[in-house]
Each structure stands twice: as C-alpha cells, then as structure tokens.
Amino acid sequence: MKRIFAVTLALVIALMSYAQCFAMSEGDWDKYWKTDEAHSGITLFPGSDESERRISWYSEKESEPFVELTADGMKSPRVFHGECVETYSGDFANKVTVTGLEEGKDYTYVCVSGDYRSDEYTFNTSRGSDFTALYVTDIHISEGEDEEGDSIRYDSYLYGEVIEAAEKISDIDIVLSAGDQASRGLESEYKGLSASPAGRGITFAPAIGNHDRKGVDFRTFKNLPNEKKGGINTTYIGFDYWFVKGDTLFMVLESNNGSGIDHHAFMEAAVRANKDVKWRVCMMHHDLYSGRIPSRESENELLRLIWGPMFSEFAIDLVLLGHSHYYSVSDVLFNNKITAEIKGNDDITDAPGTVSIVSGSINHPRSGNEEEVPANDTLGYYYDNQGGQVLYNIIDFSSDSITVRSYSYDTGEQFNSLTLRKTSPSGGHPAKRIPLYQPLINLAGTVYQFFNNISVRQRLKDSGFEISLFDILFKGNR
Ligand SMILES: [Fe+2]
C-alpha cells in the first residue's frame, strides 16, 4: 500500500513540475527573461514533410552547430550537423535540419553551438492525416524605446500565454502565423518571439508581414523548406515556401512581393509536386477583404486582382490572412465572385471556391470604433464585438474536413467556427477557367515589385540599414 502511495505521489509531483515547465506566472517569466536560454531564439520550423524539422537558434560566436535528437527506443542520440550564418547585427544564426522522423512519436532535442548547450525541448510528430494547428496573426513583438527591453518581454509573455490557452483546449502540433511576427523586423524581436518554452516544442510556420520587412533580420531568423529562390523578384528577407502535413499542402506566400509571375510559378510547382495531397491551404499576410477598414479598400482591390484568380486556378480550399487586425471570414469565392455565402458558424460540404479568414492581432488588438458597413460585399462574417480582444484560432485538420474554431483569449469564449468538408479530392471547386488576361496582371505585379524594391531600399537606408541596391534587387533571390 505504502509503495502504491509513494509511486502515486511521485507521479503527481512529476506531472506538477512538468506543468510548471510551461505555465509561468508573470513573475516567473521575469526571472526566466533574465536567463540566456530565454534569448537563444530557438525555433522549430517545419520540414518539407512530417519526417523533417528545421531548427534555428542564435549565438554570439561562429561555430559548427549541431542538434542532438533522442526518442524512445534510440540507444544513443542522433546528431545532425548544420550551418552557421552571420546576421546583420554581427551575431550568428545556426541552422540544422533533422530528418528520418517517424509518425506519432515524441522527440527531444538539444541545440549545441560552441560552448552553448541548450535545455532539452520535446516535440511530437503527427500520425496520419489528423493534426491540430494554432492559427494566429500579427503577434507584433515590439522593441520600444526603453533600454530594458520591457516591451519585448511583455509581448513575448502574452504570446506564450496565448499558446498555453490554446494548449488547454487541444494539443497543438503547429503554429500558423500569418505575418507581422515583429513590429520592426529586428533580431531582438525574433528572439522575443521564440522565447517561450511552450513554443519550443511546437513547429512554427510564419508568413512574412509588412512589419517584418521594416528590418532585415527575418532573412537570417528563418529556416524554411522548399523556398522559391531564383525568381525574377524577391523582397530580400524571404520567399514563398511549401510543406506537407497530414493530407494538407501548405503554401506560405510572401505577399510583400507583388511579383505575380513568381507567385504563379511557385504555386504551379508546389501543386505539381504534391498532386495526391487532398487539401490546399495558403497563408499570407495581406488582408484581401478590408476587415471593415474602407481606407484600405483601394489597396485590397489591387491585391485581389492578383491573388483571387490565383487561389481559384489552383483550387485553394482555405486562405489564412492577417494585416487588418480585424477578424473576418470571406464568402466562398471563385475569381473574386461570391459562389456561396458565409454567415458565421458555417459547415460547408464541397465549397464551390475558396474561403479566406483574417484573425485579430495578439499584441496590437484593434480597439473598436469600426465603420458600420463592411468595405466590400465579399466579406461574409465579421466579429462585431471584437474591440480590444486578443483572438486566436484552433484548426483541426483531417482527411475529410478542416474545422476552424475562433476564440477570445480575454473571455475564453469561442465566438465562431467554420467547417469545410470534401467528398472527393477536388471537392466543389468549379472547373471554369481563369481570365485570359490574368498573365498580364501577374506581369504588372512583377514590374511593380522592381520599383517597390528600390523604394524599400531607400526606406531601410533611412532607418539605418546599410543594404546595397544590388543586394536588394539580386542577392535576395539566393
Ligand atoms: Fe500588423
């Protein structure tokens, strides 16, 4: 009897200390923030498929980095070597890919560079088609004017709290982050983004926001698979990339780049390489449907000209967006025309087109006083009482359906859901052709991007970043 009691007590203590690893009070967070481990920037990015993960972290010195990986049944750790690249500030970013992962297994990893040896972090691989994502956008870790880094410390804490709130509802396998991870695109902000131990056991897939492009450090922060390099234009800091998880192809688009020709080539190649994957999900930063901000409608109209037909041509089921910090869901659209209406809490089988969602910001939630009228009539549902609330979404993926549940972090309540079901791989996507003039619009976007890069280089220079025009225009493609 005594033995049973002792074992039970040991188990309870072990479980409590495990929970304490992640659940931190703000006071505990402040203590953790003073440690080097909080600022190592360890991030677990997706690999090309479930058998890989790509890991990145920062160090002050150059070295030959490696990752030690262990799992049940392994006699000794497997060691994966990687590369070390210099960052704009003179630090180093270490990048290692771990491969050969099996489905439905827990893996523990340790990052080693020079005399740095990280804590242990554990992630798990999914099995089959089922997995769960946390979809957030505009996390906005912001370096303020204060020297203590207080704003980054708090922003990082809140983001970690959102992860933990989502984890209490479902086991999260991956974070889908639709851009503006950082407000000024600075290394310090990406270190803050990666600080929470809760996040280091979850794969992180980021899109690039307009704020990430206010600096240049996303370029060395990321470690992403299947990037579209070598196109006509890029934005210097990143590319479109794809990965497959379960029965879903994720295409993450660099929407700061207006180069329609490059995006079209990317999506065509990604779809061709993954013909048998049932679901297609895109994620990018720029909102296409205004989020009830009429002043943005003219920009959105131009963006819809490029992106709307592209999503229709490649039969994209769901698009995850950000930028307006305002939660909304578009109607089901084909070539920017409504093919089915969205009203809130929808459940659609074989949707005849694409549905887009925009979520709210984590650290810069919109604070009310919205215009009364949606800025355009393709906006199907919008969250009326959003003012000031932090929003997040849990998405359950399976072979037959995708269900998005949307929550307020502040009230803990679920305020909307959307379920898409398919009875065949093509679902209800119309077989109609896209407009014949579409390649001309894509070309116009490519020409625009060349001039946009010149003006962005000037803006970076004005902000103190010394990047040559040659590098912005050409080196960004490598
Ligand atoms: Fe933003």
Ordered DSSP codes for 85-135: EE-TTS-EEEEEEE--PPTT-EEEEEEEETTEEPPPEEEE--BTTBEEEEE
Instruction: Tell how far the Cα of 198 is from the centroid of ligand 1, in angstroms.
Output: 23
Lowest mean pLDDT among 10-24, 36-50, 444-458: 10-24
Instruction: Tell how far the Cα of 14 is from the centroid of ligand 1, in angstroms.
Output: 40
Lowest mean pLDDT among 292-306, 406-420, 454-468: 292-306
Residues 136 and 117 in one domain: no
Structure-model confidence comparison of residues 162 and 472, the more confident one: 162
Answer yes or no: is 472 within a domain.
no
In this prediction, what percent of the chain has a pLDDT beyond 90? Answer: 79
The per-residue pLDDT for 210 is 96
Residue 475: which pLDDT band, with cuts at 50, 70 and 90? confident
* CATH at 81: 2.60.40.380
The per-residue pLDDT for 165 is 96
Residues 294 and 386 in one domain: yes
Answer yes or no: is 115 within a domain.
yes
Residue 387: which pLDDT band, with cuts at 50, 70 and 90? confident
Given 91, 123, 155, the domain boundary residue is 123
Instruction: Tell how far the Cα of 111 is from the centroid of ligand 1, in angstroms.
Output: 31
Residues 409 and 381 in one domain: yes
Residue 68 in contact with residue 118, Cβ under 8 Å? no
Report whether pLDDT(473) > 80. yes
Residues 168 and 44 in one domain: no
The per-residue pLDDT for 15 is 40
Answer yes or no: is 333 within a domain.
yes
How many angstroms separate the Cα of 156 from the Cα of each of 225, 226, 348, 474? Answer: 25, 28, 36, 34
Answer yes or no: is 6 within a domain.
no
DSSP 222: -
Report whether pLDDT(310) > 60. yes
Answer yes or no: is 282 within a domain.
yes
Residue 374: which pLDDT band, with cuts at 50, 70 and 90? low
Residues 107 and 153 in one domain: no
Measured from the Cβ of residue 361, the count of other Cβ atoms closer than 10 Å reads 21
Residues 164 and 34 in one domain: no
The per-residue pLDDT for 470 is 87
Residue 435: which pLDDT band, with cuts at 50, 70 and 90? confident
Instruction: Tell how far the Cα of 71 is from the centroid of ligand 1, in angstroms.
Output: 38
The per-residue pLDDT for 211 is 96
Instruction: Please state the rounded mean pLDDT for residues 354-358.
Output: 96
Residues 119 and 135 in one domain: no
The per-residue pLDDT for 477 is 75
Tens-place pLDDT, residues 228-261: 998 898 899 999 999 999 999 999 999 999 999 9
Instruction: Please state the rounded mean pLDDT for residues 302-327.
Output: 95
Average pLDDT, the chain: 91
Instruction: Tell how far the Cα of 465 is from the centroid of ligand 1, in angstroms.
Output: 21
Instruction: Please state the rounded mean pLDDT for residues 440-454.
Output: 93
Residues 191 and 69 in one domain: no
Instruction: Tell how far the Cα of 181 is from the centroid of ligand 1, in angstroms.
Output: 8
Answer yes or no: is 469 within a domain.
no
Structure-model confidence comparison of residues 14 and 164, the more confident one: 164
End-to-end CA distance of the chain: give it in Å, rounded. Answer: 66
Number of domains composing the chain: 2
Residue 376: which pLDDT band, with cuts at 50, 70 and 90? confident
The per-residue pLDDT for 476 is 75
Answer yes or no: is 396 within a domain.
yes
Rounded to two decimals, the pTM is 0.93
The per-residue pLDDT for 39 is 95
Instruction: Please state the rounded mean pLDDT for residues 407-421.
Output: 96
Instruction: Tell how far the Cα of 109 is from the centroid of ligand 1, in angstroms.
Output: 32
Residues 288 and 343 in one domain: yes
**Residue-number span of the structural domain to which 191 is assigned:** 131-421
Task: Give me the amino acid identity at 208.
Answer: I
Residues 201 and 254 in one domain: yes
The per-residue pLDDT for 197 is 94
Answer yes or no: is 2 within a domain.
no
Instruction: Tell how far the Cα of 308 is from the centroid of ligand 1, in angstroms.
Output: 21
Given 103, 123, 143, the domain boundary residue is 123
Report whether pLDDT(348) > 80. yes
Q: Is 136 exposed, middle or buried (0-12, 13-18, 19+ CB in 10 A)?
A: buried
The per-residue pLDDT for 1 is 43
The per-residue pLDDT for 270 is 98
Residues 139 and 109 in one domain: no
Largest CA distance in the chain: 80
Residues 178 and 291 in one domain: yes
Task: Give me the amino acid identity at 105.
Answer: K
The per-residue pLDDT for 146 is 64
Given 123, 143, 164, the domain boundary residue is 123
Report whether pLDDT(372) > 60. no
